[in-house]
Amino acid sequence: MNPQADAPRLPLPPGLADLKGKPVAAIDTPALVIDLDAMQRNLARMAEFARKHSVRLRPHAKMHKSAALARLQMQAGAVGVCVQKTAEAEAMATGGVTDIYISNEVIDRAKLRRVAALAGQLNAAGGRLAIAVDSMEGISRLAAAMNENDGSSQSVSPRVSGEPSLLANLASVDKKPARIDVFIEIDVGQGRCGLPPGPAAVTLARAIEGHAGLRFAGLQAYHGRAQHLRSVEERREAIARAADEVQRTRALIEAAGITVPLVTGAGTGTFALETASGSWGELQAGSYLFMDADYMGNAHDPAQPAFEHALFVKSQVISVNAAHAVCDAGHKSHAIDSGLPRVHSLPGQPSLTYANGGDEHGILHPAASGGTLPALGDTVWLIPGHCDPTVNLHEHLIGVRGGLEHGTVERIIRVDARGALT
C-alpha cells in the first residue's frame, strides 16, 4: 500500500488551527495563501462554461492535491477528478472522492495491485476508477492485477472452522468483480506518453475489450505543449491538428466495431478550443482554480472565461540595502520550473521585480528606475510561476476571505496528496 495514504491524518497543528478568524497579518511567512473570493469566482466561471457547452468537467487534482477542493469542484458540477499518480488517487479516495481517473500509465505490478484494490473499493462505494494505457504490456499487467485482486478478495472471505459460513456465501453472492475504466492515450502533440494516433489504438482497444475486468472508456488526448503557446492563433492551430488526430483515431476504432464512449483531455490554456471542436467530451483543466504567472502570460482567448489569480505566497522583507531588498521566499516556497514569481503589489505598495535568491530568498528591485524599495518587515505578495508544483511544496493552503489587504483567515485547506509521488 501507499505510505502517504496509509499514514494517519493529523489534526491541524495548533499554530494553524489558531489562525482561523485572524487577520492576514497574523499569517507567518512564507505561506501559501488562497484568495477564497477569487477562487470561488474561478470555480463558478469554469462550471458555467461546462454547463453552457454541455461538456463534462473533470478537473486535474494534481494541481491542488486537496480532497476538500475536489469535493468543492464536484459540488459545482464536476463529474470527478483526474490525478497523475496512484498515491494521489488513494489520497483523493481517502478524502471522500469516489470518481477518479489516473490520466497516466502505471506499469509496476505492485502499484497495479494498489490500483486494482482501489478500483474495488470505489466500486463498492458506488464510484469508479479509470486509468490510461499506451501499451499491450500495460493492459495485460493491469488485467492481471484486476484478476488477482478479485481472487485475493475472495480468499479473505470470512470462514468458520473450515466450513463455508453464511456470511462467506453472502459475501461471494454480493461480490461483483471489480471493474476499471481504461482510456487509451494517444500523443496529439505533447511528445511524452501515448501511442501515435492511428491504427495502433484499434489493437489496444480490442485487447481491453478482451478482459472482463477492464472497460474500454475512450481516448486520452491531452496536448500539454499547446497550453502555453502565447498567441490564441498558435493554440488554435495546435488544437485543430490534435482534433484531426482524435477524429481519425476514433473513426478507426469505431470502424472496427468498437464504441468510443468518451474523449478526455484539454487544459486551462486551450479548453475552449477542444470544446468548440466537438471532438472532446470531457475537460481536464485544473489550473483555472488558482491560476499562475505562466498561464496569465497567455494572450486571452475571448471564448474562455477570464480567470483571476487566487494563489499567492505571502513573504516578508528580511534584509534591505542600497541596491535591493530580500524577502524570505525562495524556490523552496514556490516552484520556478515555469519562471520566477511575479510580485503582486497591493494598493500603496511599491512596484517590484523578483530575482532568484536561491532556496530561501528572493531579491527585490524597484520595477522602474527611481522606484522605492519596501522596508524591513514589510509584507510582499508573490504570484507563483506554476501553481501545481508550488502547491506540492506546502502542507496547507491558508484560505483568506475579504482580500489580501484587509481579509481574514477563513479556513485551512490540507494538501492531502502533497508528496504523493508513487
Least distance to a second copy, CB of residue 278, Å: 27
Site for a second copy in 240-279 (CB under 8 A): none
Whichever of 174 and 359 has its CB closer to a second copy, that residue is 359
State yes or no: residue 331 binds a second copy (CB under 8 A). yes
Rounded CA separation 81/100 (Å)? 5
Residue 21 CA neighbour count, 13 Å, CB half: 2
Q: Of residues 44, 96, 125, 137, which one binds a second copy by CB under 8 A?
A: 137
Site for a second copy in 12-41 (CB under 8 A): 13-16, 28-31
Whichever of 31 and 202 has its CB closer to a second copy, that residue is 31
Whether the CB-CB separation of 65 and 92 falls below 8 Å is answered with no
Q: From residue 280 to residue 319, what is the string marking binding to a second copy with x (rule CB under 8 A)?
A: ------------------------------------xxxx
State yes or no: residue 363 binds a second copy (CB under 8 A). yes
Whichever of 54 and 321 has its CB closer to a second copy, that residue is 321
Q: Of residues 269, 357, 374, 407, which one binds a second copy by CB under 8 A?
A: 357
All three cell numbers of 80, joined, read 470527478
Beta strand 352-356 with 396-401 is unpaired
Whichever of 134 and 301 has its CB closer to a second copy, that residue is 134
Number of residues that bind a second copy (CB under 8 A): 72
Neighbours of 13 (CB within 10 A): 11
Q: Of residues 8, 21, 162, 302, which one binds a second copy by CB under 8 A?
A: 8
Q: Of residues 22, 51, 110, 198, which one binds a second copy by CB under 8 A?
A: 110
Site for a second copy in 160-219 (CB under 8 A): 187, 191-196
Q: Of residues 158, 367, 376, 406, which one binds a second copy by CB under 8 A?
A: 376
CA angle at 106 for the pair 102 and 110, rounded to the nearest 5°? 115
State yes or no: residue 370 binds a second copy (CB under 8 A). no
Site for a second copy in 69-88 (CB under 8 A): 84-85
Closest to 39 measured CA to CA, from 223, 295, 307, 361: 307
Least distance to a second copy, CB of residue 34, Å: 16
